[in-house]
Structure 1
Amino acid sequence: MTIEDLRLLTALAEAGSLAGAARRILVNHASAWRRLGALEQRLGARLFERSRTGYTPTPAGEEAIAVASRVVTELGELERRLAGQDIRLTGIVRLTTAETLLDLLVPILAELRHVHPGIVVELVTTNAFFTLTRRDADIALRPAASAPEGLVARRLAGVATAAYATADYLEDRTGIDPLALDWLAPDDSLAHLGSARWIAEHVEQDRIVHRSSTLMGLLAAARAGMGVAPLPCYLGDTDTTLRRVLPPVPEMASALFLLTHPDLRRMVRIRAVLDMLAARLTPYRRYFEGKAQK
C-alpha cells in the first residue's frame, strides 16, 4: 500500500464521496476511481459501500482508514519538523487563498518573485479550507470568523460585508424596504458565512431569486442587475458598477488571517512569504474594513 493509497483512504473517509476525495488530493475523479479499485483488488476486500448518497466504509474499510490516518498524520508531522529546519531562501511554498483575494494577492507574488527569485509559490485557489496540519498547504490567506486552533495566526484586518446592487437596478426601486428587494444569496456550501446566516434570518425565502456557491458568482450576478448581493466591502466598494444598499452589517463581519503551522514558521522561505504578504496587505486595511468607499 503506497502513501498515495493512504491519502486517498483518508480523503474519502473525510469527504464521503469520490469526487470530494479527488479534489482533496488534487487528482481527477477517474484517477481516484481507478486507484481505489486497484487497491481493493490487491487487498481482496471491499473497503467502501457505494450508494447514491456517497461512500460508506465497510468494517475492513474502517480498519484501513484508522491505520491510514495514523500513518498520514505521522508522516505529515515528520515533514513539518524536517522542513522547519530548512534555512534556504529557495524552494516551493504552497499558498492557499480565496478567489476574492486574487486581484490583491497576485501583484504581491510578482514582487516576491523579483525579490526572492529562488522561491516558487504554488497558489491553490479554493473556497474550502485546506488542512495545514497535513501540509495540503504551507500558508493560508483566509477571511474567517476566527483563526483555527493549533495554527500560527496573524490577523491582518477586519473584513466588513455590506449589501450591493447596481444603480440601474436601484433606480426604479427608491424607497422600497431593502429586505423586500430581490436578493442574491450564498448557497448551502457557504452556509458558514455570516452573510448566509443573516439572510436566512432576515430575508423571506420568496425574495431570494438567485444562489451561488462563490462570492465571485454573487458579484457577477449583482453586476448583471439581478438584485442585491452581500459582498465583502473590498469587492463591493471597489466595483464602479455597484452601490451600497445597506451599510456593513456587524453579523456578517469576519477577519483576514494569515496562517501557517507552528513547525513551519521559522522556515526561512515561509517567513519571507509571510512577511511580504503582511507588509503589502496591511495598507489595504481600510478597504477590508469598509472605510474606503469610492
Structure 2
Amino acid sequence: MQKLQSLIAVDDLRLLAAVEEAGSLTGAARRLHMDHSSAWRRLGQMEERLGVRLFERGRDGYVATSAGEDAVATAARLLQDLADLERRLAGKDIRPTGVVRVTTTDTLVPLLTPVLAEFRQVHPGIVLELAGANAFFTLTKRDADVAIRPAAHAPEGLVARRIGTIGTAIYAACGMMVPDGRLEEADWVAPDDTLGHLRSARWIAANVPAERVVYRANSLLALAAACQAGLGLAALPCFLADGLAGLQRVAGPLAEMETALWLITHPDLRRTARVRAFLGFAAERLAGLRGRLEGSVNGPGDTARPSVPPAR
C-alpha cells in the first residue's frame, strides 16, 4: 500500500506523463519547469520504491518498459480525472475571485492588454494569467480557462462566442515602390509552413509567384518587422499593422483573408463567477474594437479608411 501511495503522488504522475510525452528526461524537466537533476532524482526514487525500471535509457531517449507503460497509462488517466474534477469544482464557484488563465496569439496581446488592465480595475479580486502563444492551448486540460483566438470555425466541444471579423490587408514599408500596382511583381515576406493554415498564407500561395517570396517566418510579428525593414510586401492583420510606424497599406482588407475572432471557454467553466465575469467584460470591450479588428479604423476615434482594391 505504501508503494502505491508513493506512486500516485501528483508530482510523480506528472513526471511520468512528461517523460513519455517528451521522450527524454531533459524535455520532461523543461515541461515541468524543473531542473534536470531534480527530475532524475525523483524518477530514480520512484523506481527504487517500486522495485521496477519504468524507462529504458538509450541514446535515442527514454522508452517506457512494460511496467512503465502501465504506469504511464494510469498516470494519464488519473491526471485527466483530476483535471475534470478541478473543472467541475471550479464551475460551482460563485465568487468573482481567483485566477483566470487567458490564452491568445502574440499578435493580439498589445490590443488586449488595455482590456485586461481595465478588467482588473473592475474586478480586483480576480488575478489574470496571460499566455501569449500561437499554439492552441488545450482548454480540456486546463492549460487555460479562456481563449481569445482567430479561427475559421469554433472548436467542437467548447463554448465559443464570435466576437467579430479580423481583416487582413497588404502592407509595404513607407516609400517602397510597388511596380505600377502589380503586387505579384514585388518582393514578398510570407508565413512559413507552420502558419500555412492562415488564409493569408493560402492567398499568397495562390497569387504570388514562389520566386517573389524572399523571406519566410513562423510569426506575424516577425513578418511585420521584415516588412518595416523593406524586405517586401506582407499580408498582416489590420489591428496589428495599422498601429506600426513605417508601414502603409497598399491593398485591402481582402475578403479572401478574413477570419473570425472567438471568445472560447470550457462548458464546465462558463458558469464560474470569475470566468463568467471575464467573458462578459471581454465580449463587450472587444465589440467596441470591431473597427480596428476589421481594419475600417486605425484606432479609437479614427474615421473609416478606404480600401485599395487588390492587384489583378
Fold-level match, TM-score > 0.5? yes
> How far apart, in 2, do the equivalents of 1:8 and 1:201 lie?
45
The unaligned stretches of length 5 or more in structure 2 are 1-6, 299-304, 306-312
> How far apart, in 2, do the equivalents of 1:262 and 1:209 lie?
44
Q: Does 1:226 align with 2:231?
A: yes
Q: Which residue of 2 aligns with 1:78?
A: 85
TM-score, normalised to structure 1, is: 0.85
1:44-84 deviations in Å (ceiling 9; x for gaps): 435377667x7765655543332222111111110011111
Q: Which residue of 2 aligns with 1:271?
A: 276
Selected match of 2:171 from 146, 149, 164: 164
Identify which range, 275-284 or 9-18, moves more after superposition. Answer: 9-18
Query: What amino acid does structure 1 have at the position aligned with 2:101?
Result: R
User: Residues 167-206 of structure 1: matches in 2 within 5 Å?
Assistant: 167-169=174-176, 171=177, 173-175=178-180, 177-206=182-211
The Cα of 1:13 is off from its aligned counterpart by: 4.9
Query: What amino acid does structure 1 have at the position aligned with 2:136?
Result: F
The Cα of 1:277 is off from its aligned counterpart by: 0.7
Q: Which residue of 1 aligns with 2:247?
A: 242
Q: Does 1:97 align with 2:101?
A: no
Quick check: 1:40–1:46 contact (8 Å CA) kept in 2?
Answer: no
Q: Which residue of 2 aligns with 1:146?
A: 153
1:3-53 deviations in Å (ceiling 9; x for gaps): 23433444555566777766765x26x44x85267426633435377667x
Q: Which residue of 1 aligns with 2:218?
A: 213
| Distance change (3 Å), C-alpha of 1:284 and 1:48 | farther
The unaligned stretches of length 5 or more in structure 1 are none
1:87-137 deviations in Å (ceiling 9; x for gaps): 112111111111211222111122112111111111111111111111111
| Distance change (3 Å), C-alpha of 1:244 and 1:62 | farther
Q: Which residue of 1 aligns with 2:287?
A: 282
User: Percentage identity across aligned positions?
Assistant: 52
Q: Does 1:259 align with 2:264?
A: yes
The Cα of 1:192 is off from its aligned counterpart by: 2.4
The Cα of 1:159 is off from its aligned counterpart by: 1.3
> How far apart, in 2, do the equivalents of 1:198 and 1:15 lie?
35
Q: Which residue of 1 aligns with 2:296?
A: 291
Quick check: 2:25–2:40 contact (8 Å CA) kept in 1?
Answer: no
Secondary structure of 2:250's match?
strand
> How far apart, in 2, do the equivalents of 1:210 and 1:80 lie?
44
How many residue pairs align between the two structures? 288
Larger Rg: 2
Q: Does 1:107 align with 2:114?
A: yes
Query: What amino acid does structure 1 have at the position aligned with 2:222?
Result: G
> How far apart, in 2, do the equivalents of 1:18 and 1:183 lie?
41
Q: Which residue of 2 aligns with 1:68?
A: 75
User: Residues 30-41 of structure 1: matches in 2 within 5 Å?
Assistant: 30-31=35-36, 34-35=38-39, 38-39=42-43
Quick check: 1:158–1:254 contact (8 Å CA) kept in 2?
Answer: yes
The Cα of 1:195 is off from its aligned counterpart by: 2.1
TM-score, normalised to structure 2, is: 0.81
| Distance change (3 Å), C-alpha of 1:246 and 1:56 | farther
Quick check: 2:12–2:42 contact (8 Å CA) kept in 1?
Answer: no
